[in-house]
Structure 1
Amino acid sequence: MIAVAVTVPLVWLAWLVLTDWVPMFPLNDLNGANVRGRALAAAINYPFPLLIAAGIGLHRTWSLIAATVLCVLVVAGHVRSWWLPYFGPATAEQRELYRREYSRTWKVLPTAGHDVVIDVQHMVVGLLSLLMLATTIVVTLTA
C-alpha cells in the first residue's frame, strides 16, 4: 500500500503538469492563460505532491502525519477553489479567472445558473486529491 500511496501524489503532479502546460483543448484552454500566472500556480502547487510522496516514503509517524495534513490542505484548497464557487457565490476574481481560462473547457456538470463551473480537468484533480488523501490516511493508520 505504501507504493500506491507514494505513486498517487506523483500521478496527481503529472496530471497538473500535463494540463497546465500541454494544450489539449477542450480538456484545457491555454490560449487565455497567462504564463506568469501558470508558473506562479505551479510554484505553489507542485511542491505539495512531492512533499506528500516524500512524507509517505519516509514512513515515520511525524512524516505520515505531515503528509496527511498536506493532503487535507490540498483537498480543502480544491473545494474552496471549485466546489464552493459552483454551489455558492463566487468572488469577482474567481469569475474572471473562470471566464478567461476555463469557460470554454469540457464540462459535465450543469452550467446554467452557475458563475463558476468545475471542468473535467479539475474534476480529475479533485478525484486524485481524494484518492491521495485516502491512501495517505490508510498508510498512516496502518503504520
Structure 2
Amino acid sequence: MQVPAASQNNYRFQVYVREKLDSLRGQFDLKYWPSLSDFVSELASDANNAVTQATNPITAAATSAVRSSQADFFKALFASIEDHGASNHGHLPSGFKLSDRTYASLANCALDLGPDELIDDAYVKRFRQRERSKDI
C-alpha cells in the first residue's frame, strides 16, 4: 500500500493517522479491504456529489454569479482591501480610504473598460450605499 508515499508531506497524516493505519492494516487480511477499483469508484462518486463553498469573501464575490459583474468586482476589491488592512495584519495602514472617483478609475483600468462602459464615482457611491444597507 502506497499511502505513506502519497502523504509523505502531509504532517497531520504522519502525526495522527499513519501509525493507526499501519496497525489496522496488519490486523486484517486483504480480503477484508475493498478492491482498488471499488475504492476509486466510491471516491469518484463522492467527488461527483461534492458541493463547493467559498471560504472567504473574495472567492465568494468572484464565484457567486455565472457571469461576473462590476458589482462582483467591487465586492472582491473591498473585501481584499479589508483583508489587507492593518486590522488584519496587512500592509495597508489603519484608516486607509480611497475616494469613490479613485475606485471608479481603478475599476475602469483593471476591467479595461471602453469609453462607453466607464464606471463613474456616482456608481461606486450607490454601490457602497447598497452594500451598507444590506449590513443593517
Instruction: Bin the TM-score by the shorter chain.
Output: under 0.3
Point out which structure has higher relative CO (alpha carbons under 8 A, 6+ apart): 1
The structure with more helix, counted as a fraction of residues: 1
Q: Radius of gyration: which is bigger?
A: 2
